[in-house]
Every structure is written in C-alpha cells, then in structure tokens.
C-alpha cells in the first residue's frame, strides 16, 4: 500500500490535487521535504515508475500557507494550466483571519508591488517604480469577532505574497504572519488557507472545483469558520 504524504483531493493521469499542510514548501528546498519531492516519490512508488517522475508546478502556495494545490502530471496538463493562469480563468479563493476590521463588508484592493531583496519581502510601490507589478484582489468579510476578522479573498492577479502584503499594508496583517508585521501568534504557519480552486480539466475540458476546510489549528481562533 502506497503511503500518501498529504491528503489527496483528486488524482488521474494528468492531475494531482492535494490539500497542502502549512510548514511545507511547494518547491525549491534541498532536503527532500517539499511538496514537489514528496509528490514525485509518491507517484514513483505507486505507479512503479523507473527514474525521474514528471511533475509540473504551475502555481505555488507559500510555505506558511495551507490548502488546495494542483500539480500537473504531464507536460500537456502543465502547459494548459499555465495558459489558464495567464488568461485568469482559474478561480482561486482563500480564507484569511486578520488582525483588526476591514472598512467595508466587501471590496477590491489594487496596488503595485515589487520584491525588496534586501528585506526578503514584497513591498507596495508606485506604478512608475522599476519592476512594479499590478496586484488586485477582491474580499468579502464573513465574520468579525473582537479584533479578528475572517475574510474570503478572491485573487485576480497572482503576485508573490500578494494577499499577505495587501492586507498588511492596510494595517490588517494575517494572524501569525510576522514577516508582514502581525502581532498575534499562530500554532503552525499563518491564518491563510487556499479554500477553493475551480478550473477546467486540461484534457477533458470539464469544469472541476475543489474545496477543503482549514486545518485544526484554526479552531483556536475567535471567529466561526464556514
């Protein structure tokens, strides 16, 4: 029996959709603990594949973020998923619990952002700044309790640390996110979870939608989860 390294939401010849735990990098670490490394080994063992296994990372979740993540098992699937991302036809919704309260029940945030290599973080900047990229998201407040707010976020663009930065720059950092000035701690990772993912299957052209609830660590938050 093949051991699953993390919960698997869907699997076929072209896709592997998982519920990524917080604390695991999507890719890029050298100790074999990344999602890429563990998923590759899972496929290699389960299907008895010799040599290296193909696995395409078309979109990442930050190490500190949990939730739905899709991986491509074929180059055709990777190419078509990448094209969907460019055309913004993949719908990504997140849950976040932030410090403070948002000014409106729903709205849109638009900023220009860039990477600050010296500070190892993203920053908001002027549109005219070199390497500035437009960042847009929509939000909806689900519940506020005390000084915590649970919100649903729909990403329109997909910039590095986008949700974390755009909320923190307005004085509402994600709980546990010390990199972006959070004052409240969180048991593992931060209170940001990739909740829902909707897209068209890359070969069958059928609509697919996945949803997974936040991990148990969220139960100690003061807000009521959906």
Active-site residue set = 62
Give the chain's radius of gyration (CA, Å). Answer: 18
Q: Which two tokens stand for residue 36?
A: 């890429």
CB neighbour list of residue 15: distance below 8 Å, 6 or more residues apart = 70, 71, 72, 73, 77, 201, 202
The length of the chain is 226
User: Pairing state of beta strands 66-72 and 192-200?
Assistant: parallel
- 3-state SS assignment for residue 174: strand
Cα–Cα distance measured from residue 219 to residue 211, given in angstroms and rounded to the nearest whole number: 18
């Amino acid at each position: 029996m093949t051991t699953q390294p993390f919960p698997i939401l869907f699997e076929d010849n072209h896709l592997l959709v998982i519920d990524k735990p917080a604390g695991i990098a999507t890719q890029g670490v050298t100790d074999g603990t990344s999602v890429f490394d563990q998923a590759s080994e899972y496929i290699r063992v389960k299907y008895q594949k010799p040599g290296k296994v193909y696995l395409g990372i078309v979109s990442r979740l930050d190490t500190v973020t949990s939730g739905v993540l899709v991986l491509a098992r074929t180059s055709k699937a990777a190419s078509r998923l990448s094209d969907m991302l460019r055309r913004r036809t993949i719908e990504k919704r997140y849950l976040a619990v932030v410090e403070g309260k948002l000014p409106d029940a729903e709205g849109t945030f638009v900023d220009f952002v860039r990477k600050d290599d010296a500070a190892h973080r993203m920053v908001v900047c002027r549109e005219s700044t070199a390497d500035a990229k437009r960042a847009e998201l929509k939000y909806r407040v689900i519940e506020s309790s005390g000084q915590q707010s649970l919100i649903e976020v729909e990403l329109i663009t997909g910039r590095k640390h986008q949700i974390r930065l755009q909320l923190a720059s307005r004085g509402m950092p994600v709980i546990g996110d010390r990199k972006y000035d959070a004052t409240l701690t969180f048991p593992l990772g931060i209170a940001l979870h990739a909740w829902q993912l909707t897209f068209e299957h890359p070969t069958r052209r059928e609509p697919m939608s996945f949803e997974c609830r936040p991990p148990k660590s969220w139960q100690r938050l003061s807000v009521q989860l959906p």
